[in-house]
Copies of this chain bind each other. A is one copy, B any other.
Amino acid sequence: MTEFELIQRFFTGMPKGADVALGVGDDCALVRLNDQDHLAISTDTLVEGRHFPEHYPPGWIAARALGAAASDLAAMGATPVGCLLALTLPQADSEWLSQFSEAFRSCAERWSIPLLGGDTTGGRLQLTVTVLGRVDVSRVLLRSGASAGEDLWVSGKLGEAAGALKYRLADPESRYDFGEQGPISRLLDRYDMPAPRLALGQWLLGRASAAIDISDGLVADVGHLCRLSGVGAEIQLESLPVSESLSLLYSPHDVEKHALYGGDDYELCFSAPVHLRGELSRAPYQLSRIGHLTVGHELILRREGKAVKPSGSGFDHFGLVPGGHCDVI
Protein backbone atom coordinates (compact mmCIF):
# COMPACT_ATOMS: atom_id res chain seq x y z
CA MET A 1 0.00 0.00 0.00
CA THR A 2 1.46 3.40 -0.94
CA GLU A 3 1.29 6.35 1.40
CA PHE A 4 -1.41 7.82 -0.76
CA GLU A 5 -3.62 4.74 -0.61
CA LEU A 6 -3.04 4.44 3.10
CA ILE A 7 -4.23 7.93 3.85
CA GLN A 8 -7.11 7.67 1.45
CA ARG A 9 -8.25 4.58 3.28
CA PHE A 10 -8.28 6.04 6.77
CA PHE A 11 -8.76 9.76 6.46
CA THR A 12 -11.17 10.37 3.62
CA GLY A 13 -14.88 10.27 4.24
CA MET A 14 -14.60 12.06 7.58
CA PRO A 15 -17.60 14.34 8.13
CA LYS A 16 -17.32 17.84 6.65
CA GLY A 17 -18.37 20.90 8.61
CA ALA A 18 -20.87 23.51 7.51
CA ASP A 19 -18.14 26.02 6.64
CA VAL A 20 -16.01 23.53 4.73
CA ALA A 21 -16.26 23.98 0.96
CA LEU A 22 -13.57 21.42 0.12
CA GLY A 23 -11.96 18.88 2.43
CA VAL A 24 -9.25 16.25 2.10
CA GLY A 25 -7.70 15.62 -1.33
CA ASP A 26 -6.71 18.83 -3.14
CA ASP A 27 -3.65 21.07 -2.73
CA CYS A 28 -5.51 23.07 -0.09
CA ALA A 29 -8.73 22.69 1.85
CA LEU A 30 -11.24 25.48 1.37
CA VAL A 31 -13.29 27.14 4.11
CA ARG A 32 -16.11 29.55 3.29
CA LEU A 33 -15.28 33.05 4.51
CA ASN A 34 -18.13 34.92 2.85
CA ASP A 35 -19.97 34.97 -0.48
CA GLN A 36 -16.90 36.14 -2.34
CA ASP A 37 -13.89 34.49 -0.71
CA HIS A 38 -12.69 31.09 0.34
CA LEU A 39 -9.89 30.53 2.80
CA ALA A 40 -7.36 28.10 1.30
CA ILE A 41 -5.32 26.22 3.90
CA SER A 42 -2.64 23.56 3.63
CA THR A 43 -0.06 21.93 5.89
CA ASP A 44 3.29 20.34 4.94
CA THR A 45 5.85 18.52 7.05
CA LEU A 46 9.56 18.28 6.23
CA VAL A 47 11.57 15.63 8.08
CA GLU A 48 15.37 15.70 8.32
CA GLY A 49 16.93 12.85 6.36
CA ARG A 50 13.80 12.43 4.32
CA HIS A 51 12.85 15.79 2.84
CA PHE A 52 16.25 17.41 3.29
CA PRO A 53 19.71 15.98 4.08
CA GLU A 54 21.30 15.89 7.52
CA HIS A 55 23.60 18.87 8.21
CA TYR A 56 21.57 20.92 5.75
CA PRO A 57 21.90 24.65 6.52
CA PRO A 58 18.97 26.14 8.49
CA GLY A 59 18.37 28.93 5.98
CA TRP A 60 17.61 26.46 3.21
CA ILE A 61 15.42 24.37 5.50
CA ALA A 62 13.34 27.49 6.14
CA ALA A 63 13.19 28.39 2.43
CA ARG A 64 12.24 24.86 1.37
CA ALA A 65 9.57 24.48 4.07
CA LEU A 66 7.83 27.77 3.39
CA GLY A 67 8.31 27.44 -0.39
CA ALA A 68 6.78 23.95 -0.49
CA ALA A 69 3.79 25.05 1.59
CA ALA A 70 3.26 28.26 -0.39
CA SER A 71 3.32 26.24 -3.61
CA ASP A 72 0.01 24.68 -2.53
CA LEU A 73 -1.53 28.16 -2.33
CA ALA A 74 -0.14 28.89 -5.80
CA ALA A 75 -1.80 25.75 -7.16
CA MET A 76 -5.23 27.02 -6.06
CA GLY A 77 -4.62 30.57 -7.31
CA ALA A 78 -4.81 31.84 -3.73
CA THR A 79 -3.32 35.06 -2.39
CA PRO A 80 -1.28 34.37 0.78
CA VAL A 81 -2.64 35.57 4.14
CA GLY A 82 -0.09 34.09 6.54
CA CYS A 83 1.52 30.95 7.92
CA LEU A 84 2.08 28.97 11.11
CA LEU A 85 5.33 27.21 11.96
CA ALA A 86 5.61 24.10 14.15
CA LEU A 87 9.30 23.49 14.70
CA THR A 88 10.82 20.43 16.38
CA LEU A 89 14.48 20.79 17.32
CA PRO A 90 16.99 18.53 19.10
CA GLN A 91 18.21 21.51 21.11
CA ALA A 92 17.70 25.25 21.38
CA ASP A 93 20.77 26.29 19.37
CA SER A 94 20.77 30.03 19.08
CA GLU A 95 23.08 30.20 16.02
CA TRP A 96 20.87 27.71 14.18
CA LEU A 97 17.71 29.58 15.19
CA SER A 98 19.16 32.89 14.15
CA GLN A 99 19.95 31.65 10.63
CA PHE A 100 16.64 29.81 10.35
CA SER A 101 14.49 32.70 11.50
CA GLU A 102 16.36 35.19 9.31
CA ALA A 103 15.73 33.08 6.20
CA PHE A 104 12.14 32.40 7.23
CA ARG A 105 11.54 36.12 7.69
CA SER A 106 13.11 36.90 4.32
CA CYS A 107 10.94 34.34 2.46
CA ALA A 108 7.85 35.41 4.39
CA GLU A 109 8.44 38.98 3.23
CA ARG A 110 9.27 38.05 -0.37
CA TRP A 111 6.11 35.97 -0.72
CA SER A 112 3.92 38.14 1.58
CA ILE A 113 3.16 35.27 3.97
CA PRO A 114 3.53 36.72 7.48
CA LEU A 115 4.20 34.35 10.36
CA LEU A 116 1.01 34.25 12.44
CA GLY A 117 2.13 31.87 15.18
CA GLY A 118 3.36 28.39 15.88
CA ASP A 119 4.85 25.96 18.32
CA THR A 120 8.33 24.74 19.22
CA THR A 121 9.10 21.33 20.68
CA GLY A 122 12.15 19.21 21.42
CA GLY A 123 12.83 16.13 19.29
CA ARG A 124 14.41 15.10 16.03
CA LEU A 125 14.61 17.99 13.55
CA GLN A 126 11.44 18.44 11.51
CA LEU A 127 9.00 21.20 10.78
CA THR A 128 5.40 21.63 9.74
CA VAL A 129 4.34 24.79 7.96
CA THR A 130 0.65 25.63 7.59
CA VAL A 131 -0.24 28.30 5.04
CA LEU A 132 -3.45 30.29 4.64
CA GLY A 133 -4.63 32.22 1.62
CA ARG A 134 -7.72 33.84 0.15
CA VAL A 135 -9.20 32.91 -3.18
CA ASP A 136 -12.24 33.94 -5.20
CA VAL A 137 -15.04 31.39 -4.68
CA SER A 138 -16.05 31.43 -8.34
CA ARG A 139 -12.60 31.04 -9.90
CA VAL A 140 -10.54 28.91 -7.45
CA LEU A 141 -8.32 26.34 -9.22
CA LEU A 142 -9.10 22.75 -8.22
CA ARG A 143 -7.51 19.47 -9.19
CA SER A 144 -10.95 18.27 -10.25
CA GLY A 145 -11.86 20.84 -12.91
CA ALA A 146 -10.17 19.35 -16.00
CA SER A 147 -12.09 17.94 -19.00
CA ALA A 148 -11.07 15.56 -21.77
CA GLY A 149 -9.90 17.43 -24.85
CA GLU A 150 -8.24 20.25 -22.91
CA ASP A 151 -4.52 21.00 -23.17
CA LEU A 152 -2.06 20.13 -20.42
CA TRP A 153 0.51 22.80 -19.54
CA VAL A 154 3.44 23.17 -17.14
CA SER A 155 5.37 26.22 -16.00
CA GLY A 156 9.16 26.63 -15.93
CA LYS A 157 11.68 23.82 -16.35
CA LEU A 158 11.25 20.34 -14.91
CA GLY A 159 13.64 18.03 -13.09
CA GLU A 160 16.23 20.55 -11.94
CA ALA A 161 15.72 20.01 -8.19
CA ALA A 162 15.84 16.23 -8.73
CA GLY A 163 19.03 16.71 -10.73
CA ALA A 164 20.51 18.70 -7.84
CA LEU A 165 19.88 15.98 -5.29
CA LYS A 166 23.03 13.89 -5.82
CA TYR A 167 25.22 17.00 -5.50
CA ARG A 168 23.36 18.13 -2.41
CA LEU A 169 23.54 14.72 -0.74
CA ALA A 170 27.28 14.55 -1.44
CA ASP A 171 27.85 17.90 0.22
CA PRO A 172 24.82 19.25 2.15
CA GLU A 173 26.39 22.58 3.06
CA SER A 174 28.28 23.67 -0.03
CA ARG A 175 27.19 26.33 -2.49
CA TYR A 176 29.49 24.82 -5.18
CA ASP A 177 30.59 28.32 -5.99
CA PHE A 178 32.92 27.48 -8.88
CA GLY A 179 31.55 29.92 -11.42
CA GLU A 180 28.38 31.57 -10.22
CA GLN A 181 26.36 30.59 -13.25
CA GLY A 182 27.66 27.04 -13.45
CA PRO A 183 25.05 24.35 -14.12
CA ILE A 184 25.47 22.64 -10.74
CA SER A 185 24.87 25.92 -8.90
CA ARG A 186 21.79 26.57 -11.00
CA LEU A 187 20.34 23.18 -10.15
CA LEU A 188 21.19 23.54 -6.46
CA ASP A 189 19.40 26.88 -6.35
CA ARG A 190 16.26 25.14 -7.51
CA TYR A 191 16.60 22.56 -4.75
CA ASP A 192 17.66 24.90 -1.94
CA MET A 193 15.42 27.84 -2.71
CA PRO A 194 12.15 26.81 -4.34
CA ALA A 195 10.12 29.64 -5.85
CA PRO A 196 6.38 29.02 -5.40
CA ARG A 197 4.51 30.23 -8.49
CA LEU A 198 2.13 32.47 -6.58
CA ALA A 199 1.79 35.18 -9.24
CA LEU A 200 1.24 32.61 -11.99
CA GLY A 201 -1.42 30.82 -9.92
CA GLN A 202 -3.36 34.06 -9.56
CA TRP A 203 -2.92 34.87 -13.26
CA LEU A 204 -4.40 31.45 -14.11
CA LEU A 205 -7.67 32.22 -12.29
CA GLY A 206 -10.35 32.28 -14.97
CA ARG A 207 -7.93 30.74 -17.49
CA ALA A 208 -6.93 27.27 -16.22
CA SER A 209 -9.67 24.70 -15.65
CA ALA A 210 -7.65 22.67 -13.09
CA ALA A 211 -4.20 22.92 -11.51
CA ILE A 212 -1.78 21.12 -9.21
CA ASP A 213 1.74 21.94 -8.10
CA ILE A 214 4.48 19.52 -9.13
CA SER A 215 6.02 18.34 -5.89
CA ASP A 216 6.07 14.54 -6.20
CA GLY A 217 7.09 14.51 -9.85
CA LEU A 218 5.17 15.31 -13.03
CA VAL A 219 3.81 11.79 -13.64
CA ALA A 220 2.58 11.37 -10.06
CA ASP A 221 1.00 14.82 -9.92
CA VAL A 222 -0.65 14.60 -13.35
CA GLY A 223 -2.00 11.30 -12.03
CA HIS A 224 -3.60 13.08 -9.05
CA LEU A 225 -5.14 15.73 -11.30
CA CYS A 226 -6.50 13.09 -13.72
CA ARG A 227 -7.92 10.95 -10.92
CA LEU A 228 -9.80 13.86 -9.37
CA SER A 229 -10.99 15.18 -12.74
CA GLY A 230 -12.01 11.74 -13.99
CA VAL A 231 -9.90 11.99 -17.15
CA GLY A 232 -6.80 10.41 -18.69
CA ALA A 233 -3.80 12.21 -20.17
CA GLU A 234 -1.25 11.97 -22.94
CA ILE A 235 2.12 13.65 -22.54
CA GLN A 236 4.51 14.25 -25.49
CA LEU A 237 7.99 13.57 -24.18
CA GLU A 238 9.54 15.94 -26.79
CA SER A 239 7.56 18.79 -25.23
CA LEU A 240 8.88 18.46 -21.68
CA PRO A 241 10.61 21.73 -20.78
CA VAL A 242 14.13 20.97 -19.52
CA SER A 243 16.98 23.33 -18.88
CA GLU A 244 20.39 23.51 -20.53
CA SER A 245 21.96 23.06 -17.08
CA LEU A 246 20.23 19.73 -16.58
CA SER A 247 21.17 18.58 -20.10
CA LEU A 248 24.81 19.53 -19.54
CA LEU A 249 25.03 17.35 -16.43
CA TYR A 250 22.92 14.32 -17.31
CA SER A 251 22.38 11.88 -20.19
CA PRO A 252 19.18 12.38 -22.22
CA HIS A 253 17.72 9.33 -20.46
CA ASP A 254 18.37 10.76 -17.00
CA VAL A 255 17.17 14.22 -18.00
CA GLU A 256 13.85 12.69 -19.01
CA LYS A 257 13.69 10.61 -15.83
CA HIS A 258 14.23 13.68 -13.63
CA ALA A 259 11.65 15.68 -15.59
CA LEU A 260 9.02 12.94 -15.35
CA TYR A 261 9.58 11.50 -11.89
CA GLY A 262 11.74 13.94 -9.94
CA GLY A 263 10.15 15.75 -7.01
CA ASP A 264 10.50 19.30 -5.72
CA ASP A 265 9.90 21.19 -8.97
CA TYR A 266 7.23 23.41 -7.38
CA GLU A 267 6.11 24.37 -10.88
CA LEU A 268 2.41 24.39 -11.75
CA CYS A 269 0.77 21.83 -13.99
CA PHE A 270 -2.63 22.90 -15.31
CA SER A 271 -5.28 22.22 -17.89
CA ALA A 272 -6.84 24.84 -20.15
CA PRO A 273 -9.27 24.90 -23.05
CA VAL A 274 -7.73 24.67 -26.52
CA HIS A 275 -8.99 28.15 -27.49
CA LEU A 276 -6.66 29.71 -24.90
CA ARG A 277 -3.47 28.36 -26.56
CA GLY A 278 -2.61 31.71 -28.09
CA GLU A 279 -3.20 33.68 -24.91
CA LEU A 280 -1.20 31.22 -22.81
CA SER A 281 1.69 31.24 -25.32
CA ARG A 282 1.91 35.03 -24.92
CA ALA A 283 1.64 34.89 -21.10
CA PRO A 284 4.20 36.79 -19.03
CA TYR A 285 5.32 33.39 -17.67
CA GLN A 286 7.33 30.53 -19.12
CA LEU A 287 4.63 28.01 -20.04
CA SER A 288 4.91 24.80 -22.08
CA ARG A 289 2.11 22.79 -23.59
CA ILE A 290 3.08 19.18 -22.90
CA GLY A 291 0.01 17.18 -23.91
CA HIS A 292 -3.72 16.90 -23.55
CA LEU A 293 -6.43 15.25 -21.48
CA THR A 294 -8.32 12.23 -22.71
CA VAL A 295 -11.46 10.26 -22.01
CA GLY A 296 -10.54 7.37 -19.73
CA HIS A 297 -8.15 6.87 -16.85
CA GLU A 298 -4.80 6.16 -18.45
CA LEU A 299 -1.67 8.28 -18.42
CA ILE A 300 0.17 7.68 -21.70
CA LEU A 301 3.62 9.00 -22.50
CA ARG A 302 4.46 9.36 -26.23
CA ARG A 303 7.85 9.67 -27.92
CA GLU A 304 7.55 10.63 -31.59
CA GLY A 305 3.96 9.46 -31.48
CA LYS A 306 4.78 6.03 -29.99
CA ALA A 307 3.42 5.10 -26.54
CA VAL A 308 6.11 4.57 -23.88
CA LYS A 309 5.45 2.84 -20.56
CA PRO A 310 6.03 4.98 -17.43
CA SER A 311 9.10 3.59 -15.68
CA GLY A 312 8.79 5.04 -12.21
CA SER A 313 6.48 6.71 -9.75
CA GLY A 314 6.62 9.80 -7.57
CA PHE A 315 8.30 10.58 -4.30
CA ASP A 316 7.44 8.22 -1.46
CA HIS A 317 7.32 10.04 1.88
CA PHE A 318 8.07 6.80 3.65
CA GLY A 319 11.11 6.20 1.44
CA LEU A 320 14.65 6.93 2.48
CA VAL A 321 15.94 9.38 -0.11
CA PRO A 322 15.45 13.03 0.74
CA GLY A 323 13.40 14.62 -1.96
CA GLY A 324 9.97 15.91 -2.83
CA HIS A 325 6.88 16.79 -0.99
CA CYS A 326 3.17 16.21 -1.38
CA ASP A 327 -0.20 16.50 0.27
CA VAL A 328 -1.72 13.22 1.07
CA ILE A 329 -4.55 13.80 3.46
Contact = CB atoms under 8 A, between A and B. Distances in A.
A102 to B, nearest CB: 9
B319 A122 contact: yes
A166 interface: no
A115 interface: yes
Contacts of A87: 329
A44 interface: yes
Contacts of A81: 17, 19-20, 31
Given A10-B101, A14-B108, A15-B109, A117 B39 contact: no
A34 B134 CA distance: 12
Contacts of A132: 31, 39, 41
Nearest to A124: B124
A285 to B, nearest CB: 25
Greatest chain B CB density within 10 A among A14, A80, A89, A119 is at: A119
Interface class of chain A by DSSP? mixed
A281 interface: no
Interface in A183-231: none
This protein's copies in its complex? 2
Interface stretch (A92-100, A140-148, A270-278): A92-100
A225 to B, nearest CB: 17
A71 to B, nearest CB: 13
A11 B318 contact: no
Contacts of A302: none
A84 B130 contact: yes
Given A43-B128, A47-B122, A15 B108 contact: yes
Contacts of A108: 14-15
B116 A20 contact: yes
A129 to B, nearest CB: 9
B86 A119 contact: no
A136 interface: no
A43 B112 contact: no
A51 interface: yes
B43 A130 contact: yes
Given A14-B108, A81-B19, A84-B41, A29 B116 contact: yes
Nearest to A69: B119
A1 interface: yes
A135 B195 CA distance: 34
A128 B119 contact: yes
Interface in A285-329: 317-319, 326-329
A108 to B, nearest CB: 6
Contacts of A14: 104-105, 108, 114-115
B123 A29 contact: no
Interface in A6-48: 6-7, 9-11, 14-17, 19-20, 23-26, 28-29, 31, 33-34, 39, 41-47
Given A6-B120, A31-B82, A31-B132, 9 more contacts: A10-B101, A28-B117, A39-B132, A41-B84, A41-B132, A43-B130, A119-B128, A120-B328, A122-B317
